[in-house]
């Protein structure tokens, strides 16, 4: 088990030497092939930088449950080099795990390509987020200003989450989801003042089997198409008690 409590990570850098094809991920913390439960509690990640992925936190093939509680990611950067760089605040690439975020703040993080606040490529998992704020993050070149979420069979339940003031250069100013083959439920989630240049100022939803928006609000989001939401190739979409405002 990996437990990290009551710690601040400030102004750390993961760099890659010139001409090298390795290194540069996880500006503050890098977790790979751990095969153990991960508990992160009462932490701050501030102004950390990764040359590639995961400006604050990088997790790949941990293969166990991940619990992140009362943690703030502020002003972290996945700055970009000669490859796609994702997850300004957090980068997760995992299979067969349970991911639980409670009272997590993603604020003012930047990724060169995907997922200004959070990038998650997950399969055969459950992903719960509760009482969290995703604000002022940016994907400077591509998709998912606040969150970029993709791949596989994943059961998603997000409750009381705020997406506000996030920006993507291409699609999904607040949230980008693609190729999800299981249930996605967003309950009491608000999308306010997010923007992107192409599609889905608040949310861009592509190739999802079942997605429910319950008691959600879309307000003052902007995009070339679908200022509030852009839906592509989704099998079943349910919207109940949803407010869409200018």
Give the pLDDT band of residue 4 (cuts 50, 70, 90). Answer: very high
What is the average pLDDT across 151-159? 80
- Residue 242's pLDDT band, with cuts at 50, 70 and 90, is confident
In whole angstroms, what is the distance from residue 117 CA to residue 89 CA? 5
Please compute the mean of the pLDDT values over residues 76-98 and round it to a whole number.
83
**What is the band of 160 on the pLDDT scale with cuts at 50, 70, 90?**
very high
Token match 């439960």: residue? Answer: 37
- Show the tokens assigned to 203: 């949310």
Q: Specify the range with the lowest mean pLDDT, choosing from 5-9, 65-69, 82-86.
A: 82-86
Helix %, strand %, coil % of the chain (to 5): 0, 60, 40
Q: How far apart are CA 51 and CA 79, in angstroms?
A: 6
pLDDT score of 17: 64
Listed residue (139, 147, 152, 220) closest to 180, CA to CA: 152
The full DSSP string for 152-193 is S-EEEEEEEEEEES-EESSB-SSEEEEEEEEEEEEEEEEEES
Question: Do 106 and 138 form a contact (C-beta atoms < 8 A)?
Answer: no
If you search the block for the tokens 């989450």, which residue do you land on? 161
Q: For residue 21, name the pLDDT band (cuts at 50, 70, 90).
A: low
Residues 13 and 22: their CA atoms lie apart, in Å, by 15
Mean pLDDT of the chain: 88
Percentage of the chain exceeding pLDDT 70: 88
Q: pLDDT band for 206, please (50, 70, 90 cuts).
A: confident
Confidence check: pLDDT of 82 > 60: no
CA 18 to chain centre: 29
pLDDT at 63: 62
pLDDT of residue 20: 59
Tell me, what's the pLDDT at 26?
A: 93
Q: What percent of the chain has pLDDT over 90?
A: 60
pLDDT digits (tens, 9 = 90+) for 105-149: 999 999 999 999 999 988 767 889 999 999 999 999 889 999 998
> Rounded to the nearest 5°, which phi and psi values hold at 46?
-130, 125
Most distant pair of Cα atoms in the chain: their distance: 54
Residue predicted with more confidence, 88 or 179: 88
Lowest-pLDDT range, 29-43, 71-85, 118-132, 228-242?
A: 228-242
Rounded CA-CA distance 36/7 in Å is 20
Residue 81 pLDDT grade (very low, low, confident, very high; cuts 50, 70, 90): low
pLDDT at 29: 95
Would you say residue 98 has pLDDT above 70? yes
Distance of CA 11 to the CA centre of its chain: 21
pLDDT score, position 186: 92
């Amino acid at each position: 088990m990996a437990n990290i409590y009551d710690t601040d990570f400030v102004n750390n850098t993961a760099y890659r030497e010139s001409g090298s094809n390795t290194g540069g991920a996880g500006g503050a913390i890098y977790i790979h092939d751990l095969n153990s439960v991960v508990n992160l509690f009462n932490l701050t990640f501030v102004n950390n930088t990764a040359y590639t992925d995961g400006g604050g936190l990088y997790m790949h093939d941990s293969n166990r449950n991940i619990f992140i509680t009362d943690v703030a990611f502020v002003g972290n950067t996945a700055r970009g080099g000669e490859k796609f760089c994702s997850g300004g605040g957090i980068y997760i690439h995992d299979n067969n795990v349970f991911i639980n975020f409670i009272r997590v703040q993603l604020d003012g993080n930047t990724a060169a390509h995907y997922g200004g606040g959070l990038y998650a490529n997950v399969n055969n998992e459950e992903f719960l987020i509760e009482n969290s704020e995703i604000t002022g993050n940016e994907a400077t070149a591509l998709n998912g200003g606040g969150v970029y979420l993709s791949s596989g069979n994943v059961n998603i339940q997000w409750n009381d989450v705020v997406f506000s003031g996030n920006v993507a250069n291409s699609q999904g100013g607040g949230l980008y989801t693609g190729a999800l083959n299981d249930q996605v439920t967003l309950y009491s989630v608000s999308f306010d003042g997010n923007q992107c240049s192409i599609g889905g100022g608040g949310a861009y939803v592509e190739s999802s089997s079942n997605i429910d928006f319950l008691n959600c609000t879309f307000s003052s989001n902007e995009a070339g198409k679908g200022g509030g939401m852009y839906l592509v190739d989704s099998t079943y979409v349910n919207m109940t008690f949803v407010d869409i405002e200018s």
